[in-house]
Amino acid sequence: MDLSLSDEQKQLQESAERFSREKYTFENRRKIVATERGWLPENWAQFAELGWLGMAFSEEDGGYGGGPIETMIVMEQFGKGLVLEPFLPTVVLGGGMIARAGSADQKAALLAPMIEGKKQFAFAWLERQSRYNLADVSLKATREGNGWSLSGHKGVVYNAASADEIIVLARTAGSAREPKGLTLFVVDAKAKGLSRRDYPTQDALRASELTFDKVSVGADAVLGKVDDAFPVVEEAVDRAIVALCAEATGCMDAINAATLEYIKTRKQFGVAIGKFQVLQHRMVDCFTNAQEARSMTLMASLKIDDKDPMVRAKAASGAKVQIGKSGKFCGQSAVQMHGGMGVTDEMAVSHYFKRLTMIDLMFGNQQHHLTRYSNLAMAA
Amino acid sequence: MDLSLKPEHKAFADEVRAFARENLSPATREKTFSGKHYDRDDHIVWQKALGKKGWLAYTWPKKYGGPGWDVTQRFLFENVLAEEGAPRILPFGPKMVGPVIYTFGTEEQKERFLPGIRSSEVSWCQGYSEPGAGSDLANLRTRAVREGDHYIVNGQKTWTSFAHWGDWIFCLVRTNPDGKPQEGISFLLIDMKTPGVTVRPIIMTDGAHHVNDVFLDNVKVPVENLIGKENEGWTCAKFLLANERLGIAEVPSSKRGVSMLRQIARIEPQDGGTLADDPAFTAQIADIDLQVQALEMSELRVLSAMAQGGAPGPEVSTLKVRGSEIQQRIAELTMEAVGEYAQPYQPGMLFHDTNETPTGPDHAPPAAPRYFNMRKTSIYGGSTEIQKNIVSKMVLGL
Amino acid sequence: MDLAFTPEEQKFADEVRAFVRANLPADVRDKVKNGKHLIRDDYMRWQQALGKKGWLVYTWPKKHGGPGFTPAQRYIFENICAEEYAPGIIPFGTKMVGPVIYTFGTEAQKEKYLPAIRESTVWWCQGYSEPGSGSDLASLRTKAEKDGDHYIVNGSKTWNTMGHWADWIFCLVRTDFKSKPQEGISFLLIDMKTPGITVKPIIMADGGHEVNEVFFDNVRVPVENLVGKENEGWTCAKFLLANERLGIAAVPQSKRGVEALKDIARVEQDNGRPLIENQSFAEKIADLEIQVTALEFTELRVLSQMAQGGQPGAEVSGLKIRGSEIQQRITELTMEAVGEYSAPYLPGLLWQGTNEEPVGPDYAHLAAPRYFNTRKTTIYGGSNEIQKGIISKMVLGL
């Protein structure tokens, strides 16, 4: 048992921290939000150059042999800066599923260029009715000659507008909500019959609604085994959850730091408001919440490579519960202690608050994961 | 970073488990799992066994007769003992006064007092709080006046846990009434058999007798029982409090509490099934389970930082805060699980080995008393409010 | 004591419902029902209809042109308006400055201002908070200096709600810098068309514009616009704040909010079933509903005391605290019900009423902005920390 970072990991932490601090000042970020893509290609190129896009992949897959701890380190710093580049959909989700389920050809065609910064992905699983059930998928893929034809709808697909390939979860057999009978397809983002409606999200990311109208793909578009995608997706989503938790931890550090600074300087009744015990204790609770969030994120990052899927699922759900709870507490408290300023667009806190709020809703909120964890724990 | 155990650590855990099974009396073990109160022998017999093995003062460095374990070994030792139903080690000797003596004491004091602590031959208790000095500890008024080779001590200590079992008491006393409150305090060791020491029980809301008032009436204490310098006892006091806060989170016993709670839920009937079928209730268990895990990871992070040379900082206060809330929550949920059968009050079942039959299931009688009793955890060792003040000032700079 | 309505009250309820159905413009009702943002004209059309009926200033005594409703009638009126999706009455004229004028104003002021408030032909806004004085209102620095028949006003006000739609503003200004902060404040009515007034929007976290900063640069205000005595404006301010806290609990709106939440939970899917069948979620709604009921009965108790001649005391601060927390909880659960479809941000649809097609169901895009925006309720009208300070001091005597 060892909870200390290696020297390489400390260096990674420093360079990610520097990136967020220098490239993601409040004003810079505002400008990046206003660009057409909503993120900067030069930043993405820098990620590739620094090796961040390949760090978590094995050397045989063309990566640098790191793992969830490296992802945690970088995501945490991304959270501090509210970084907008689509690392989660492209690297953690897309790259993760290709590395886990892809053929040698797919890895060569997709993973290698992704690590070089030349390909981006989006993961389309959610549908209007799905809520947090990953198997609640009705977009249909039917056999068509040697290949497949996809028809249906996908919602809130992050990074779809910038992605080169969309990784689509489709039903190839079975009834609604049955885990068996789901298949992953890699679909060219410009495929005929695929239409998009793009929009920004509450926290200034980009997402889209996708409509598939008889989109034809070849047999080689299948990622992994036909009808058997569910375990791949579940694992990828659990890994994405852990990465999101790390991002949330960074957000909490930043929002707590901003609030602490504010209550030390804002004066009312002749003193800094941080002299009032009500606010002091609330600030301490924020600090404790962030500590717990960091602890659970670390726990989950250390367990997410476990061989036992039950251990992985419990770790991811456990961390997500903590992040939901702590994120809400820190976010709401930051706004409250900032007073009216906390809900204005011009203060950084409101942006962290929005991101923390959206993180809770992604891939299952606190309640969902509490139920999931509870069921797993009672089954044990 | 790595959570997995090396083979030598696995072997160590097996050794601890085997030791516990060999040496822990079945009666004591049974009391742990049924939630009954321990008597003095439950603690002392077990602690002497640990002492013989050299494991009682397990947090001490080798130099002072500790086993010199690393963070992982400590973690395993605490967890295995909790799983095996061992009573917690009474902290007053091995975790409180012991480290104070080997850090601030003279060579003579170390030789005189440390062996009795390591072997559990001598039981200690703590004389800190006073009727007028609770959260505001530095306000204490028990006086020690130098008279030749002795201090004459007069005053009253309260909330003294297990003073009725104690051979010795370590006390904070005022040696200088002038100046700032923190500056006139000294750290004194007092033999409980000295004339003028009187112990009076305080009976708690659950009917239990753990704590006492201790009256000191012209008690003559040799000056060689002073630890550190006169009027500099506050340094020892703070050192002790920071150490105390770390272990006080009680993570291993909370883990045991969660698994006992799940057991109870599987037994308690509800709607023709058991309470374990009620998702609203099991979700509450899951929630507390996760809180325990978060606390455990936080504590491990602190221990890991300490292993690399850091001292426990004021942020351990947050561990104490969360640890006490968690202990309370487990007690609350356990009582909720028992439901209406938590109502009968059966003191015989709690305190004595009577043959009385419990009104409901075996686990029912201790549920409510334990809930009432656990309210103390957010009060003792520096209340939650005081801990938050410490963090606010020392960590956040407010 | 009796919870049932008398036949007269029942008749009154029918009358109110019939009136609302006949007079609330259908497009306004739809906007409220669908949670869309209202524009000035939407409010005005409805308020003027109420004004014509004599019901706009339903809290005013008969003597000043109010309907003289009993507490039961007020309750019925507020609840039916909410049930029928009427917009909330803008309080600045009717509930804030109006009562200040009829309590502290001269006969001439009453004649000049009250009719237009009763009929909603003039839109009022509030000039209280300043950049440097939020919770500490009495530290305000906007100054008014006497110059013959006028005050010359210089300074700025912030968090000014809907000032961009207003004809008049009532302001707290400092007329004396020498005495205690509370003692040099005056209550002044200012025409928003006076030269020297600039309104600058503040954009909120949800992208919306409802509040402003208002700048005063040598604004000339006739001395007859002073309400009460010079330097005694703090009395008016406190009177107004206590009145404000009462309505601020927004119980009827919260009741409507809970119903709307249930409607959404009946439509939203969870594992192929309506979300409302999810036990955990249903329990959260139940918990919220119980909180609303407790708040409603507390408010009814206060109103009943007032009907017997009492003034709203400091305990109404408790209503504001719980009311605001409940409003927040409704938006939080609504967002939870909508789930990931809360993520799309559609400012056009949200703010400009464009014909943009919503993403997901109609209500989805409103959920997150509402949640963000409603964080203000525990801050405005005296933050909840301030309210607790008031209760602690004025009610509990701490």
Please indicate, yes or no, if residue C40 is contained in any of the structural domains.
yes
Whether A241 and A358 share a structural domain: yes
Nearest to A269 among C136, C205, C272 (CB): C136
Whether C379 and C298 share a structural domain: yes
- B279: distance to nearest CA of chain C, Å? 8
Whether C313 and C385 share a structural domain: yes
Nearest to C205 among A156, A268, A343 (CB): A343
Is B130 part of the annotated catalytic residue set?
no
- Name every chain B residue with its beta carbon within 8 A of the beta carbon of C280: 279-280, 283
Whether C143 and C84 share a structural domain: no
Amino acid B352: pLDDT: 64
Please indicate, yes or no, if residue B323 is contained in any of the structural domains.
yes
Q: What is the CATH number of the domain that holds A110?
A: 1.10.540.10
Whether C53 and C134 share a structural domain: no
pLDDT digits (tens, 9 = 90+) for C149-201: 999 999 999 999 999 999 999 999 999 988 888 899 999 999 999 999 999 99
Q: What is the tally of structural domains in chain B? A: 3
Please indicate, yes or no, if residue B157 is contained in any of the structural domains.
yes
| C283 to B280: CB separation less than 8 angstroms, yes or no | yes
Nearest CA to A43 out of A62, A30, A24 is that of A24
Please name every residue paired with C190 in a beta bridge, in sequence order, or none if there are none.
C169
- Name every chain C residue with its beta carbon within 8 A of the beta carbon of B280: 279-280, 283
Please indicate, yes or no, if residue A346 is contained in any of the structural domains.
yes
Residues 6 or more apart in contact with residue C389 via CB below 8 angstroms = none
Q: Which of B244, B268, B296, B299 is catalytic?
A: B244
Alpha-carbon distances, residue A234 vs A310, A317, A368, C9 (angstroms): 11, 12, 14, 59
Q: Provide the residue range defining the domain that includes A53.
A: 7-87+95-118
The tens place of each residue's pLDDT in chain B, 398 residues long, gives 788 888 999 999 999 999 999 999 999 999 999 888 899 999 999 999 999 999 999 999 999 999 999 888 999 999 999 999 999 999 999 999 999 999 999 999 999 999 999 999 999 999 999 998 888 889 999 999 999 999 999 999 999 999 999 999 999 999 999 988 899 999 999 999 999 999 999 988 777 888 999 999 999 999 999 999 999 999 999 888 877 776 778 899 999 999 999 999 999 999 999 999 999 999 999 999 999 999 999 998 888 888 787 777 777 889 999 999 999 999 999 999 999 989 988 877 777 666 677 778 888 888 998 999 899 999 888 899 999 998 999 899 99
The size of the A-B interface in CB pairs under 8 A is 125
Six-digit token string for A5: 């970072």
Please indicate, yes or no, if residue C111 is contained in any of the structural domains.
no
Whether B257 and B196 share a structural domain: no
- Domain-ending residue, one of C198, C231, C264: C231
- B19: distance to nearest CA of chain A, Å? 23
Q: What is the tally of structural domains in chain A? A: 3
8 Å CB contact between C204 and C211:
yes
Q: What is the CATH number of the domain that holds C258?
A: 1.20.140.10
Whether A114 and A130 share a structural domain: no
Whether A106 and A139 share a structural domain: no
Closest chain A residue to B293 measured between Cα atoms?
Answer: A296
Whether C274 and C220 share a structural domain: no
Neighbouring chains of A at 3+ CB pairs under 8 Å are B, C
The letter for the amino acid at B335 is: M
Whether C254 and C340 share a structural domain: yes
- Name every chain C residue with its beta carbon within 8 A of the beta carbon of A279: 385
CA distance C132 to C148: 29
Residues 6 or more apart in contact with residue C146 via CB below 8 angstroms = C175, C223
Whether A126 and A252 share a structural domain: no
Please indicate, yes or no, if residue A2 is contained in any of the structural domains.
no
Please name every residue paired with A153 in a beta bridge, in sequence order, or none if there are none.
A211
Instruction: State the average pLDDT for chain C.
Output: 92
Amino acid A151: pLDDT: 98
| B396 to A3: CB separation less than 8 angstroms, yes or no | no
- Name every chain C residue with its beta carbon within 8 A of the beta carbon of B286: none
Q: Provide the residue range defining the domain that includes C139.
A: 124-231
- Name every chain A residue with its beta carbon within 8 A of the beta carbon of C134: 268, 339-340
Please indicate, yes or no, if residue B290 is contained in any of the structural domains.
yes
Please indicate, yes or no, if residue A1 is contained in any of the structural domains.
no
- For strands A267-268 and C226-227, give the pairing: unpaired
Amino acid B228: pLDDT: 96
Q: In B, what residues contact C, Cβ < 8 A?
A: 279-280, 283
| B294 to A295: CB separation less than 8 angstroms, yes or no | yes
Count of other CB atoms within 10 angstroms of residue A76: 26
| A132 to C281: CB separation less than 8 angstroms, yes or no | no
Whether A261 and A187 share a structural domain: no
8 Å CB contact between A358 and A328:
no
8 Å CB contact between B377 and B328:
yes
Chain A contact for B318 (CB, 8 A cutoff): yes
Q: What is the tally of structural domains in chain C? A: 3
Please indicate, yes or no, if residue B1 is contained in any of the structural domains.
no
The size of the B-C interface in CB pairs under 8 A is 6
| C204 to A345: CB separation less than 8 angstroms, yes or no | yes
| B294 to A322: CB separation less than 8 angstroms, yes or no | yes
Please indicate, yes or no, if residue A192 is contained in any of the structural domains.
yes
Closest chain B residue to C280 measured between Cα atoms?
Answer: B280
Q: Provide the residue range defining the domain that includes B391.
A: 248-395
Chain A contact for B9 (CB, 8 A cutoff): yes
Whether B269 and B171 share a structural domain: no
- C264: distance to nearest CA of chain A, Å? 13
Whether A194 and A328 share a structural domain: no
Whether A365 and A270 share a structural domain: yes
8 Å CB contact between A318 and A361:
no
> Which ipTM did the prediction report?
0.89
Closest chain A residue to B384 measured between Cα atoms?
Answer: A281
| B388 to A285: CB separation less than 8 angstroms, yes or no | yes
Q: What is the CATH number of the domain that holds B227?
A: 2.40.110.10
- Name every chain B residue with its beta carbon within 8 A of the beta carbon of A371: 279, 283, 286
8 Å CB contact between A56 and A91:
yes
Whether C283 and C352 share a structural domain: yes
pLDDT digits (tens, 9 = 90+) for A179-190: 999 999 999 999
Chain C contact for A271 (CB, 8 A cutoff): no
Amino acid C1: pLDDT: 63
Please indicate, yes or no, if residue C239 is contained in any of the structural domains.
no
